[in-house]
Amino acid sequence: MMQLPDSEALLNEITAKIAALIKPNSVIVGIHRGGVWIMEHVLANLKQDIPYGTLDAALYRDDFAQRGLKTELQPTNIPFDVQDKHIILIDDIFHTGRTTRAAINELFDYGRPASITLAVLINRDGAQLPIQPQIVGAAIPLKPNQRFQLSQDSQGKLKLALEKKQDTSDV
Amino acid sequence: MKVLIKNGHVIDPKNNIDAKQDIYIAAGEIVAVGKPPKDFSPNQTINAKGMVVTPGFVDLSARLREPGDEYKATLESELHAAAAGGITSLACPPDTDPILDEPGLIEMLKQRARKHNLARIYPLGALTQKLEGKALTEMCQLSEAGCAGFTQADKSIIDTQVLWRAFEYAATFGYTIFLRPEEPFLAKNGVAHDGELAGRLGLKGIPSAAESLMIATILRIATETETNIHFCRLSTAEGVELIRNAKNNGVAVSADVSAHHLHLTEHDIAYFNTHAHIKPPLRTIRDREALCRGVADGTIDAICSDHTPVDDDAKLVPFAEAEAGATGLELLLPLTLKWANNNQSSLADAISRITIHPANILGIKSGHLSLGANADIAIFDPEAAWQVSADNLKSQGKNTPFLNTEMIGKVHYTLLNGHITYQNKTD
Amino acid sequence: MYNPQLTSEGALKHLLSIEGLPKKNLLQILDTAESFVGVAERDVKKVPLLRGKTVCNIFFENSTRTRTTFEIAAKRLSADVINLNVNTSSQSKGEAILDTINNLIAMHTDMFVVRHSQSGAAHLIAQHLPDNISVVNAGDGRHSHPTQGLLDVFTIRRYKPEMHNLRVALVGDVLHSRVARSEIHALTTLGVPEVRVIAPKTLLPNEVEKLGVQVFHDMKTGLKDVDVVMMLRLQNERMTGAMLPSAQEYFKTYGLTPEKLSVAKPDAIVMHPGPMNRGVEIDSRVADGKQAVILPQVTYGIAVRMAVMAILAGGTA
């Protein structure tokens, strides 16, 4: 039985690494939904006021022709000008890299950022594109039929769970 | 030729026969029912075991599409369809191209039908020239040429004065007028019953009042001019009630209903099914029930097929643009049997509605198996089930709301003048 | 039960009418449209969902404004758009509808947006399409204008989220209006408890109450305490068809003026599908007033149409 890491510990890990990167033009964007929860925790723990936004990559996914708009769309809200900003992009689980690709495409429709740094809670390994996260809480490779599920309870506490996959299309 | 039909269950409403009997035919006539005539040795024997034997059916309205509309159907295809439906006599409306308003056209049509020798046709002549409702037709000459009566088909006469005079003229000679009652202005451009379904589907409706108003008007004119009137294709409960009252008051009136209206309602339009676009429109459940009761109590004398073949292209358009009409010759029997089953009426009563009653309305000698009558006979299996499909309809018109549904009741033999015009090959 | 709009799994295959559209599919469209409102407010108003797909607007009945909104919606989804205006005047009988469609299918069209003057036209087309091609009904005769019904309830939901507590009144020519039918079905499907129609008898379909509405012939009683007033357009043919005596009398009895509007709730919103006949069904003071949400309707119309097309074009794995 795999021992799952404590979410709090992972959060602190990546918060520290993110804090080290903050520059004058830095902004933070969380990818719905797990990435947004993590971003909220990170922002609460950072002692600075940084512009932030939320992003739903669903409209830029590459599997629309197969799956359609499967999940409920969340609002994308980028309340700052993307031009020349250093974006710290936050997601919960990094797997194939396709969600990141979609998020990058969407960000570029808003303008030309100076840089994008990807921070994730867990890298489960399995990139299908030449994309890698620069900030990782923990690297835990999984088998193809397994997946991590991040959830948030009513008090805002994050919980990580390991599941067997029924739907192999969730990347 | 001598023909014997043996082992069948004979139903002949006129002569009150409803029993297992054999039928003996010679030289195209019925020579005996029950006991064989002396020295009768048949050239042909039909074993009607398990089947019902009745007079050949008489259909008060079947469009044969000749002359003029041969791309929709031809005499040949439709008369074969009639025979396949057990129909041996039929009346055809004059709304052909050209309109049947001249004696020469009637003669030509009758002659061409005679050549096919598949059924007897009784054209109804136009009541007004070109059906335009303005000038009278030569009713005497048309009658002489073979018209069984006069009608306006689907085109109501707008000018009441003309209507009155047409009645008076017909009454002078004792002709019967066949009218489908529909007030033309209320029905203008309407394509469905003016009720809930037409409201939902955004289709222009024809109110029930269009029929009842016109029935009331026509009854009044017929009574005062002493004309024989037959109402075609009733579709409303109110209409049935008006006819019932008229008959109770001794008015000389008869009525028919299309077999479709005894089974279908506006809901059969469903998702704009153009096969359910017919005239008069399919109305409500309440109307259907009144029509069924009307046939049961004799208010409505006859059931007809209202056979109207339409080519496929004319139905593959939006509902309101589709040509109205449904094919029906081959469905008349099963739909009549189904009416009897649904309404607890006897088989004999049902058969009378498609034999002796319509024959009397047309004033023809058919519709019964009396001695000396023409040997026009239908032999059918009242329990045989079959699926309605484009392939097994002989009519060129495949337009029916009953497509892909099951019918119960199949004709196995049809005889005209004692010779077989249709035989179902499965035996 | 067979439903021509849905696949056997209950996913949307065509959008033909609001009637027969299950509540969950209706809500899916509205919820998806929320995201597309945001897209319209960006500088880059496009998303790549329909890139490589061809959407054909076939309008057998002319309408520049509706066709334009569908064109904008398709282009914002990155689709290629073909516009075809088919002349169907009585003089030119021309090509049969299905032949026109078949030709366009042969040219690899993925989606048809169809407007036709006859009820049932979109249904007819949907019946004859191969499985992978969708139809959006942009208005068929008097029957249905589903995207208008959808954008109208989307607008209402934005201003009055408590839909299970609303009184809504539709005013005008319900008899001839596909917009009215779609609006009524959308409102009743979403559970709006009181839907009223206000019109003279000549402009109401027989048995209209069977659609689930309350009938009023008087504006004062009909508009009392309503939260939403939905105006319908009056066409000139109604006067020549002996359904109404004159535009002036119509304005007097059924035109929405500030005085008539005052009996509604003070925060009631006023809607109109456009184009407006000022001084016939609506007074300019109301059309240009604070309570009118007519221009937002247009904006939301694009988002709703994007949502419809995105849902139809997406796979269903």
Could you tell me if residue C220 is left (phi over 0), alpha (psi between -120 and 50 degrees) or otherwise beta? Answer: alpha
Q: How many alpha carbons fall within 13 Å on the CB side of residue C100?
A: 24
Give the integer Cα–Cα distance in Å for B58 and B76. Answer: 18
Surface of B (224-283) touching C: CB under 8 A: 271-272
Residue C317: per-residue pLDDT: 65
Q: With CA atoms as reference, report the closest residue to B94 among B163, B42, B166, B152.
A: B152
Whether residue C136 has pLDDT greater than 70 = yes
Mean pLDDT for all residues in chain C? 93
- Say if the Cβ atoms of C119 and B200 lie within 8 Å: no
Q: With CA atoms as reference, report the closest residue to B258 among B285, B229, B291, B228.
A: B291
Q: Which residue of C has its CA nearest to A66?
A: C315
Work out the pLDDT band at C86, boundaries 50, 70, 90.
confident
Q: Which residues pair with A87 in a beta bridge?
A: A27, A116
Whether residue B388 has pLDDT greater than 70 = yes
Work out the pLDDT band at A69, boundaries 50, 70, 90.
confident
Answer yes or no: are the C-beta atoms of B23 and B5 closer than 8 Å.
Answer: yes
Best B283, B315, B319 residue to mutate vs chain C (most C CBs within 10 Å): B319
Work out the pLDDT band at C309, boundaries 50, 70, 90.
very high
Query: Looking at residues C3-17, what average pLDDT do you find?
Result: 94
Q: Which residue of C has its CA nearest to B207?
A: C206
- Nearest-CA distance C127 → chain B (Å): 10
What token pair was written down for A123?
Answer: 């890298």
Name the residue among B200, B271, B318 with its Cβ closest to that of C211. B200
Whether residue C41 has pLDDT greater than 90 = no
Work out the pLDDT band at A163, boundaries 50, 70, 90.
confident
Name the residue among A56, A64, A109 with its Cβ closest to that of C314. A64
CB burial of residue B177 (10 Å; 0-12, 13-18, 19+): buried
Q: Which own/partner contact pairs does C260-263 have at CB distance under 8 Å and 24+ positions apart? A: C260/C219, C260/C220, C260/C223, C261/C223, C261/C229, C261/C286, C261/C291, C263/C220, C263/C223, C263/C224, C263/C225
Task: Quote ipTM for the complex.
Answer: 0.91
Give the integer Cα–Cα distance in Å for B239 and B241. Answer: 5
Q: Which chain C positions have a beta carbon within 8 Å of B321's beta carbon?
A: 118
Mean pLDDT for all residues in chain B? 96
Give the integer Cα–Cα distance in Å for B261 and C188. Answer: 33
Asked whether at least 3 C-beta pairs link A and B within 8 Å, the reply is: no
- Say if the Cβ atoms of B271 and C205 lie within 8 Å: no
- Say if the Cβ atoms of C310 and A69 lie within 8 Å: yes
Q: Which residue of C has its CA nearest to B315?
A: C124
Q: Which chain B positions have a beta carbon within 8 Å of C205's beta carbon?
A: 198-199, 205
pLDDT > 70 fraction of chain A, expressed in percent and rounded: 95
Work out the pLDDT band at C90, boundaries 50, 70, 90.
very low
What token pair was written down for C216?
Answer: 């009023």
Please provide the size of chain C in residues.
317
Mean pLDDT for all residues in chain A? 89
- Nearest-CA distance C291 → chain A (Å): 27
Asked whether at least 3 C-beta pairs link C and A within 8 Å, the reply is: yes
Best A62, A69, A77 residue to mutate vs chain C (most C CBs within 10 Å): A69
Q: What share of chain A is helix, strand, coil (3-state, %, to 5)?
A: 30, 30, 45
- Say if the Cβ atoms of A60 and C48 lie within 8 Å: yes
Q: Which chain B positions have a beta carbon within 8 Å of C120's beta carbon?
A: 201, 203, 271-272, 318-320
Q: Which chain B positions have a beta carbon within 8 Å of C99's beta carbon?
A: none
For residues B345-364, one letter each, b for 16 or more C-beta atoms within 10 angstroms of the residue's C-beta and e for the rest, the string is: bebebbbbbbbbbbbbbbeb
Residue A160: per-residue pLDDT: 87
Q: Which chain A positions have a beta carbon within 8 Å of C79's beta carbon?
A: none
DSSP string, B60-83: S-B---TTT-TTT--HHHHHHHHH
- Say if the Cβ atoms of A75 and C34 lie within 8 Å: yes
Helix (H, G, I), strand (E, B) or coil at B413: strand
Query: Looking at residues A39-44, what average pLDDT do you find?
Result: 93
Give the integer Cα–Cα distance in Å for B262 and B401. Answer: 13
Tell me the angle at which helices B285-296 and B237-248 cross, rounded to the nearest 10 degrees. Answer: 30
pLDDT > 90 fraction of chain B, expressed in percent and rounded: 97
CB burial of residue C4 (10 Å; 0-12, 13-18, 19+): middle
- Nearest-CA distance B313 → chain C (Å): 9
Q: Which chains touch C (3 or more CB pairs under 8 A)?
A: A, B
Helix (H, G, I), strand (E, B) or coil at B324: coil
pLDDT > 70 fraction of chain C, expressed in percent and rounded: 97
| Dihedral over Cα of B403, B404, B406, B410: its sign | positive
What token pair was written down for B165?
Answer: 């005079």
CB pairs under 8 A between A and C: 57
- Nearest-CA distance B344 → chain C (Å): 31
pLDDT in tens, B246-261: 999 999 999 999 999 9
B205 at C interface, C-beta within 8 A: yes
Helix (H, G, I), strand (E, B) or coil at B424: coil
Q: With CA atoms as reference, report the closest residue to B325 among B13, B62, B135.
A: B62
| Dihedral over Cα of B136, B139, B145, B148: its sign | positive
- Nearest-CA distance C7 → chain A (Å): 14
Whether residue B361 has pLDDT greater than 50 = yes
CB burial of residue C109 (10 Å; 0-12, 13-18, 19+): buried
Residue C44: per-residue pLDDT: 82
Cα angle: B48, vertex B49, B50; to 5 degrees:
110
Residue B59 to residues B89, B91, B147: CA-CA distances in angstroms?
A: 6, 6, 15
Best C9, C49, C77, C306 residue to mutate vs chain A (most A CBs within 10 Å): C49
pLDDT in tens, B65-114: 989 888 888 999 999 999 999 999 999 999 999 999 999 999 999 999 99
Q: Do strands B29-33 and B17-26 pair parallel, antiparallel, or not at all (unpaired)? A: antiparallel
Residue C311: per-residue pLDDT: 95
Q: Which residue of A has its CA nearest to C53?
A: A65
What token pair was written down for B93?
Answer: 């409306």
Whether residue C91 has pLDDT greater than 50 = no
- Say if the Cβ atoms of A76 and C35 lie within 8 Å: yes
Query: Looking at residues C184-211, what average pLDDT do you find?
Result: 96
Q: Over the Cα atoms of chain A, what is R_g?
A: 15
C164 at A interface, C-beta within 8 A: no
Work out the pLDDT band at B425, boundaries 50, 70, 90.
low
What token pair was written down for C146?
Answer: 């589903």
pLDDT > 90 fraction of chain C, expressed in percent and rounded: 81
Whether residue C235 has pLDDT greater than 90 = no
Eight-class DSSP state of C113: E
- Nearest-CA distance B163 → chain C (Å): 26
Helix (H, G, I), strand (E, B) or coil at B312: helix
Q: Do strands B52-55 and B377-387 pair parallel, antiparallel, or not at all (unpaired)? A: antiparallel
Whether residue C226 has pLDDT greater than 50 = yes
Helices H / strands E in chain C, number of each: 12, 9
Answer yes or no: are the C-beta atoms of B66 and B96 closer than 8 Å.
Answer: yes
Answer yes or no: are the C-beta atoms of C233 and C281 closer than 8 Å.
Answer: yes
CB burial of residue B24 (10 Å; 0-12, 13-18, 19+): buried
Residue B337: per-residue pLDDT: 98
Which residue would you say has higher pLDDT here, C42 or C232? C232
Give the integer Cα–Cα distance in Å for C138 and C313. Answer: 17
- Say if the Cβ atoms of A67 and C315 lie within 8 Å: yes
C24 at A interface, C-beta within 8 A: no
Q: How many alpha carbons fall within 13 Å on the CB side of residue B203?
A: 30
- Say if the Cβ atoms of A169 and C317 lie within 8 Å: yes
Residue B339: per-residue pLDDT: 97
Answer yes or no: are the C-beta atoms of B103 and B138 closer than 8 Å.
Answer: yes
DSSP string, A37-58: HHHHHHHHHSSS---EEEE-GG
Residue C284 to residues A38, A105, C223, C279, C290: CA-CA distances in angstroms?
A: 51, 45, 18, 7, 12
CB neighbours (10 Å) of residue C107?
9
Q: Which chain A positions have a beta carbon within 8 Å of C42's beta carbon?
A: 109-110
Q: Which chain A positions have a beta carbon within 8 Å of C314's beta carbon?
A: 64-65, 67-69
Whether residue B363 has pLDDT greater than 90 = yes
- Identify the active-site residue in B59, B95, B301, B306: B306
B97 catalytic, yes or no?
no
- Say if the Cβ atoms of C313 and A56 lie within 8 Å: no
- Nearest-CA distance C311 → chain B (Å): 23
